[in-house]
Amino acid sequence: MDGIGPAEIKVTELEARLNSGIVKEVFIATSSTVPGEATANYIIDRLQKKPILVTRLACGIPMGMDIKYADKHTLARAIESRRKTH
């Protein structure tokens, strides 16, 4: 989207760094927009067979926001990103 592809996000260079064995985790932090989600999913697909941890920035309802204003997509991401408290 927007004319940005693998060459612009340097995914080939990322894979080369991962092949060095030095990198232990890739932390994906993209916007919660359609292009951001597409980019994150593309990177995750490319890295899923690598022997590294791939994590993603949690998304959801911001602190101080009234939940009644959250759209269904924000609520879905918040539920997906939930974690155990104890």
Please indicate, yes or no, if residue 86 is contained in any of the structural domains. no
pLDDT at res. 43? 93
Please give the single-letter amino acid code of residue 32: S
Domain count, the chain: 1
**What is the CATH classification number for the domain harbouring 19?**
3.40.1360.10
* Segments of the chain with pLDDT less than 70: 1-2, 85-86
Q: Domain range spanning residue 15? A: 6-80
Tell me how many helices (H) and strands (E) the chain has. 4, 2
Q: Does a structural domain hold residue 74?
A: yes
Look at residue 1 and tell me if it is in a domain.
no
The vertex-43 CA angle with 39 and 44, nearest 5°, equals 115
Q: Is residue 28 part of a domain?
A: yes
In a domain, 27, yes or no: yes
